[in-house]
Structure 1
Amino acid sequence: MKKKLLASLLVVGLLTSFTQVADAAGSTHTIQKGETLSSISDQYAIPAAAIKRSNNLSSDYVIAGDKLDIPASVSQDEKALLARLIHAEAKGESYAGKVAVGTVVLNRVDSSEYPDSVNDVIYERSASGHYAFSPVLDGSISNKADSESVRAAEEALQFRGQGQNSLYFYNPDTATSTWVSTREQTIVIGNHVFAK
């Protein structure tokens, strides 16, 4: 009898875990009595700042019964892809510049203007068929990321939802589009201008 009860509890626990992971893929969470933004953040393994940003919250205060949009979680494969993009886009830039490039991708994932996953943001094409990121076009996205780019991707994920809300970055010396220079500049790090 104890074995059956233990097995049942294990199955329920696994189903709950799988449900939370599945729900974390861009879902809605109804706040339960006693929950806090921190406990919801822990439940979905999404930084509280990302949840706040996705819901335009100015404080950590949440109300039972209200609904929160939960940003999409990031898989291990997507973390590796993000690190490769950082490596390709920000090679030779400072560590802060690498983190900022990763943050732009995550800001796009959390924005209603862009796709809801790291993979889809990185491989997104414009209406004219151009890729958003040049390493996808030139194939350097396939190159292995160095350890600093892997750390930068992890840090960008840890601080997801914080920062300047940048959705774009470009090198003014090499950029071919003049449109991006019309966007509101948020910060300059190394050779990259970040904008929203």
Structure 2
Amino acid sequence: MLKKFGLIGMIACSIFAFSFPGQSEAHANTHTVQKGESFYKIATKYGVSSKQLQEMNDKETSVIQPGEQLKLPVVPDDYERDLLSRLVEAEAKGESYAGKVAVATVVLNRVESDLFPDSIHGVIHDGIQFSPVLNGTIKQPASAESKRAVKEALAYQGYDNESLFFYNPDKAQSDYLSEKEVTTVIGDHVFLK
């Protein structure tokens, strides 16, 4: 009997110890500067460029102080990179390459925003935000162009106009979005913040 409870306990612990793909954080949103660190050392640690890290934190110089909190770019795992590529494919199929990059950038901006979940998976599966999640088209594979657009959007973090929303006004109307500031229009999509 004791063995049976032990086995059940081990199974229960295993279920809680292993998370589903994309459910865990693929990145940390901030880094606390330690004595002796530089933008270069921190960027190398996280696999991003020091210029991108500096730009994301609105730093005109490379001076940082111990204890300072730095925002970090989103660094997704393979699952989240594929998920984002499939979303871009489904949402921006037929749009220009720039439109695909912009759609991926909206998702990454949402990860960084306090208004949305802190992971790509969380943002994409947040309620009824994206129609491809609802209609199942997100399950279709991404094209090489959509994958390349995601790669560019990841490298572009910190240099964009902070768009958090997009929609096609020919297909959808929204009083909520009509109150937002338009950041750019690319193809059939209007991007807003």
TM over 0.5: yes
- Cα distance in structure 2, aligned partners of 1:141 and 1:24: 20
User: What SS does the corresponding residue of 2:183 show, helix, strand or coil?
Assistant: strand
Q: Residue deviations 1:15-42, cap 9 Å, x none?
A: xxxxxxx997325433233322232122
CA RMSD of aligned residues (A): 2.2
- Cα distance in structure 2, aligned partners of 1:183 and 1:167: 10
1:173 alignment counterpart:
170
The TM-score normalised by the length of structure 1 is 0.77
- Cα distance in structure 2, aligned partners of 1:183 and 1:64: 37
The TM-score normalised by the length of structure 2 is 0.78
2:58 alignment counterpart:
57
User: What SS does the corresponding residue of 1:65 show, helix, strand or coil?
Assistant: coil
CA 1:170/1:78 → structure 2, altered by over 3 Å: closer, same or farther? same
2:161 alignment counterpart:
164
> 1:187, 1:193 within 8 Å by CA — same for their partners in 2?
yes
Matched length: 168
1:15 alignment counterpart:
none
CA 1:90/1:76 → structure 2, altered by over 3 Å: closer, same or farther? same
- Cα distance in structure 1, aligned partners of 2:163 and 2:49: 18
In structure 2, give the amino acid aligned to 1:165: E
CA 1:180/1:50 → structure 2, altered by over 3 Å: closer, same or farther? farther
> 1:50, 1:162 within 8 Å by CA — same for their partners in 2?
no
> 1:169, 1:195 within 8 Å by CA — same for their partners in 2?
yes
User: What SS does the corresponding residue of 1:116 show, helix, strand or coil?
Assistant: coil
Deviation at 1:44, TM superposition (A): 1.3
1:135 maps to 2:138: no
**Alignment map for 1:84-99 (pairs within 5 Å):** 84-99=86-101
2:182 to 180, 185, 190: 185
Deviation at 1:58, TM superposition (A): 3.6
Deviation at 1:45, TM superposition (A): 2.2
Which stretches in structure 1 are left out of the alignment for 5+ residues? 1-21, 126-130
Deviation at 1:112, TM superposition (A): 1.1
CA 1:24/1:149 → structure 2, altered by over 3 Å: closer, same or farther? closer
In structure 1, give the amino acid aligned to 2:129: A
